[in-house]
């Protein structure tokens, strides 16, 4: 399989969603690769910025790049912005869904972090959930089905947030909700200094997420299965995290095979 530059970018920076995107119809894959790449750029806005204001400026740049494409203005010179512009101009991606993904990232730039579990869930639904919803719309899902996909994508986002506690701590960040930290007798600053101290809370959140995923709707048409496939990885990751076990990085063959089987069967 010969990849376009945006496909190669997606594979390099987000191999999970890249693999899932391969189960989209061939004519829709480039749009999904652009969506994967956009999500990567939004996710790294705070990580790559020297301060919260700089992170918001990065997010605004992407907001304006999306708006430029929607308004028919020329694309910006950027390896992701150009193919994203093309996908928007072709009507392959929903502009409102993309802008919502940008907005959902703004909470990551707040110095005090995420205050409540309700805010945390909204963040998961808007970011990782937003990717799955936008991908579903690109594949022809109805608005109702896109919301089913949003919930499945949020589960993948939860697994990712829990897997990344130590990585975020290394960046001086904590994205776990402060109210749950307090209930566990933890503070964000202490967790950043000693990320292993969150082990019990990570296991508890993973268990709650796994239970919610088990009860979630998964009735999505085969045509949009690519947008639902991150839930396969979420289920595996949350099960391991709930048991206090690490998630292998990079993914092992068993995890990739689980995604492929679900994609071939057309159900998660």
What would the pLDDT profile of 116-163 be if each residue is shown by its tens digit? 999 999 999 999 999 999 999 999 999 999 999 999 999 999 999 999
Average pLDDT over residues 60-69: 98
Looking at the predicted structure, is the pLDDT value of residue 49 above 90? no
pLDDT band for position 50 (cuts 50, 70, 90): confident
- pLDDT tens column, 65-85: 999 999 999 999 999 999 999
With the C-alpha atoms ordered 220, 222, 228, 232, is the resulting torsion angle positive or negative?
A: positive
- The end-to-end CA distance of the chain, in Å, is 25
Rounded to two decimals, the pTM is 0.97
Does position 1 have pLDDT exceeding 80, yes or no? no
**pLDDT score recorded for residue 217:** 95
In this prediction, residues 40-47 reach a mean pLDDT of 95
Mean pLDDT for the chain overall: 97
pLDDT average, residue stretch 36-48: 95
Distance, in Å, from the CA atom of 105 to the CA atom of 84, rounded to the nearest integer, reads 18
């Amino acid at each position: 399989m010969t990849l376009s530059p945006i496909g190669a970018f997606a594979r390099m920076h987000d191999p999970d969603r890249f693999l899932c995107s391969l189960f989209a119809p061939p004519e829709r894959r480039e749009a999904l690769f652009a969506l994967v790449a956009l999500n990567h750029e939004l996710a790294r806005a705070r990580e790559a910025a020297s301060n919260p204001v700089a992170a918001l400026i990065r997010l605004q740049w992407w907001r304006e790049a999306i708006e430029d494409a929607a308004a028919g203005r020329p694309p910006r010179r950027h390896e992701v912005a150009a193919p994203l512009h093309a996908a928007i101009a072709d009507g392959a991606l929903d502009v409102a869904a993309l802008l919502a993904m940008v907005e959902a990232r703004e909470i990551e730039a707040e110095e005090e972090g995420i205050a409540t579990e309700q805010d945390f869930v909204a963040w998961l639904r808007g970011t990782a959930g937003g990717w799955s919803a936008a991908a579903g719309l690109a594949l022809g899902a109805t608005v109702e089905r896109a919301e089913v996909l949003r919930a499945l994508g949020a589960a993948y986002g939860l697994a990712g947030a829990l897997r990344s506690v130590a990585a975020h701590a290394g960046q001086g960040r904590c994205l776990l909700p402060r109210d749950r930290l307090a209930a566990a007798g933890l503070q964000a600053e202490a967790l950043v200094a000693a990320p292993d101290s969150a082990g019990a809370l990570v296991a508890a959140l993973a268990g709650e997420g796994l239970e919610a995923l088990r009860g979630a709707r998964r009735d999505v048409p085969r045509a949009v299965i690519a947008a639902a496939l991150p839930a396969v990885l979420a289920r595996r990751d949350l099960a391991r995290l709930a048991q206090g076990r690490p998630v292998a990085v990079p993914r092992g063959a068993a995890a990739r095979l689980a995604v492929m089987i679900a994609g071939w069967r057309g159900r998660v």
